[in-house]
Chains A and B, each alone.
Chain A
Amino acid sequence: MRHRADFSGGELNVIVLIKHVIDVELNVRVRDGSVVQDGMTYVLSKWDENAIEAALVLKDAHDGEVTAVTIGPERSGESLRKALAMGVDKGVHINDPATEGSDSMGYARILAKTVTRQPYDLILAGRQSQDTDQGGTGPMLAELLNIPLVGNVVEIAAVDGTKLTAHRNGDAGKEVVEVTLPALLTANDSLNEPRLASLRGIMAAKNKPMEILTLADLEIDPATVGAAGAGTEVVEMQPPRARAAGQKFEGAPEEITKEVMGLLVNEAKIFG
Chain B
Amino acid sequence: MTSLTNDDTLILETIDRFIEREVKPQVRELEHDDIYPADLVETMKGLGLFGATIAPEYGGLGLSTTLYAKIVERIAAAWMSLTGIFNSHLIMAAAVQRFGTEAQRREFLPKFATGEMRGGLALTEPDCGTDLQAIRTTAVRERDHYVINGTKTWISNGIQGQIFALLVKTDTTAEPRHRGMSLFLAEKGKGFTVSRKLEKLGYKGIDSAELVFEDYAVPADRLIGGEEGLGLKHTLSGLELGRINVAARGVGLARAALDESLAYAQVRKTFGKPICEHQSIQIMLADMATRVKAAQLMVESAAAAYDKGERCDMEAGMAKLFASEAALTNATDAMRIHGGYGYSKEFNIERYYRDAPLLCIGEGTNEIQRIIISRQLVERNPV
Contact status B14-A198, CB under 8 Å: yes
Residue of A with least CB distance to B52:
A199
In this assembly, does A212 line the interface, its C-beta being within 8 Å of a C-beta of chain B? no
Residues of A within 8 A of B49 (CB): 199
In this assembly, does A90 line the interface, its C-beta being within 8 Å of a C-beta of chain B? no
Alpha-carbon gap, A201 to B47, bound state (A): 8
Residues of A within 8 A of B17 (CB): 196
Residue of B with least CB distance to A197:
B14
Q: Select one of B6, B10, B21, B47 contacting A200, CB under 8 A.
A: B47
In this assembly, does B126 line the interface, its C-beta being within 8 Å of a C-beta of chain A? no
B137 to chain A, nearest CB (A): 35
Residue of B with least CB distance to A195:
B46
Contact status A200-B61, CB under 8 Å: yes
In this assembly, does B131 line the interface, its C-beta being within 8 Å of a C-beta of chain A? no
A190-243 residues at the B interface, CB under 8 angstroms: 196-203, 206
In this assembly, does A85 line the interface, its C-beta being within 8 Å of a C-beta of chain B? yes
Q: Select one of A78, A85, A203 contacting B61, CB under 8 A.
A: A203
Q: Select one of A196, A198, A206 contacting B7, CB under 8 A.
A: A206
Contact status B6-A203, CB under 8 Å: no
Given contacts A203-B56, A203-B61, contact A196 B47 (CB under 8 A): yes
Residues of A within 8 A of B7 (CB): 81, 202-203, 206
Contact status B14-A196, CB under 8 Å: yes
Residues of B within 8 A of A59 (CB): none
Residue of B with least CB distance to A78:
B6
Alpha-carbon gap, A254 to B7, bound state (A): 60
Contact status B14-A199, CB under 8 Å: yes
B30-57 residues at the A interface, CB under 8 angstroms: 46-49, 51-52, 56
A83 to chain B, nearest CB (A): 11
In this assembly, does A82 line the interface, its C-beta being within 8 Å of a C-beta of chain B? yes
Contact status B48-A85, CB under 8 Å: no
Residue of A with least CB distance to B10:
A202
In this assembly, does B341 line the interface, its C-beta being within 8 Å of a C-beta of chain A? no
Residues of B within 8 A of A81 (CB): 6-7, 10
Alpha-carbon gap, A201 to B7, bound state (A): 10
Residue of A with least CB distance to B63:
A199
Residues of B within 8 A of A203 (CB): 7, 48, 56, 61-62
B18 to chain A, nearest CB (A): 6
Residues of B within 8 A of A82 (CB): 10
> Which residues of B are at the interface with A, using a C-beta cutoff of 8 A?
6-7, 10-11, 13-14, 17-18, 21, 46-49, 51-52, 56, 61-63
9 additional A-B residue pairs with CB within 8 Å, beyond A196-B18, A196-B47, A199-B63? A81-B6, A197-B14, A198-B47, A199-B47, A199-B48, A199-B61, A202-B11, A202-B14, A203-B56
Show 14 residue pairs from A and B whose CB-CB distance is below 8 angstroms, ordered by the A residue: A196-B18, A196-B47, A197-B10, A198-B47, A198-B48, A199-B14, A200-B48, A202-B10, A202-B11, A202-B14, A203-B7, A203-B48, A203-B56, A206-B7
